[in-house]
Amino acid sequence: MNRERRVDRFVDSLAQARPPNDLSENVYRCATRRENLTRWLTSYIDSPSSAIFIGEAPGIKGARLTGIPFTSPAIMSGCESDPWSAFSPATGIRIPKGANAGQSESTATIFWKAMRRYFAELPRPMTWNAYPFWPHQEDGLKNRTPRDEELRFGHKWLSDIVEMHPKARIIAVGRKAEKALREIGFDAEYVRHPANGGASDFDEGVKRITDLLRWP
C-alpha cells in the first residue's frame, strides 16, 4: 500500500472513531482538521535524521483547533515562522472556520521555538499525540490529563504512526507519552513536556535529540 493511501486510511479511521467517554472530543470530525492532518502526514520525510515527537493529547488552544499536534492557530498563521515553510499557504494547511488566527498556546509556542532553534538544518519534525482526542474537564472549558484507559484506546493509531515511519527517531514528550509507547513495545527517547515549568528541560532535551540525529 502506498503512503498516500495509508495516510488516508489512518485519517479516515480517526474521523469515524467514537471516543471512549463523554469527556473526550473527536476533533477529526471536522473536515478542515482532517485535511490538515492528511497534509501534515503525507509531507513528512521519513529518514534516519528525522524525528517524530509524541505528546499526550490535543490541547484546547492547540490541536483541538488545528488538527496538528503541538500547533496552535498562531503558529499556522505565520505569527511564528518556521524554516520549512510547513504552514505556508502553498501546503494547503489552513485554520478551520471560526478559529481565531491569533490564538496561541504556550506549549505550541515553546515547542516551535525549540524546533526553529535546533532543527533548522534537519528535516521538518513530525508530531502526534498518544491519545488523539481532546480530553476535557466536565465543564468543557479546560484540558484534562488523559487517563490510562484513554491512552490505551489510542494505542492503535500510535502503533500505526510508529510503523509508518520505521526510519525516524521517536521522541516521547512527557511521561504519559513515554508510557504509551512502552505499552506498545517501543522504547523511545524521552524529553520533558514543556508545560508546567518544563520549558528549560524541554529545550535541553530537544538539543540532545538533535545531537543524536546529526551524529548517530
Domain boundaries, the chain: 3-214
Q: 118-123: list long-range contacts, CB under 8 Å, 24+ apart.
A: 118/206, 118/207, 118/209, 118/210, 119/51, 119/83, 119/206, 119/210, 120/83, 122/49, 122/50, 122/51, 122/210, 122/213, 122/214, 123/44, 123/45, 123/47, 123/49, 123/50, 123/84
Is the pLDDT at 137 greater than 70, yes or no? yes
pLDDT-derived band at 29 (thresholds 50, 70, 90) equals very high
Q: What is the mean pLDDT of residues 105-128?
A: 96
pLDDT-derived band at 81 (thresholds 50, 70, 90) equals low
Q: What is the pLDDT of residue 215?
A: 72
CATH of domain 3-214: 3.40.470.10
Q: What is the pLDDT of residue 79?
A: 55
Q: What is the pLDDT of residue 80?
A: 56
Residues near 211 by beta carbon (within 8 Å), at least 6 away in sequence: none
> Which class for 66: exposed (0-12), middle (13-18), buried (19 or more C-beta within 10 A)?
buried
The pTM assigned to this predicted structure is 0.96
Three-state SS at 48:
coil
Q: Are 53 and 126 in contact (CB under 8 A)?
A: yes
Higher pLDDT, 57 or 1: 57
Q: Are 206 and 191 in contact (CB under 8 A)?
A: yes
C-alpha span between 146 and 196 (Å, rounded): 16
Q: What is the pLDDT of residue 78?
A: 78
Q: What is the mean pLDDT of residues 183-211?
A: 96
Is the pLDDT at 23 greater than 60, yes or no? yes
Higher pLDDT, 81 or 4: 4
Q: What is the mean pLDDT of residues 62-71?
A: 97
pLDDT-derived band at 75 (thresholds 50, 70, 90) equals very high
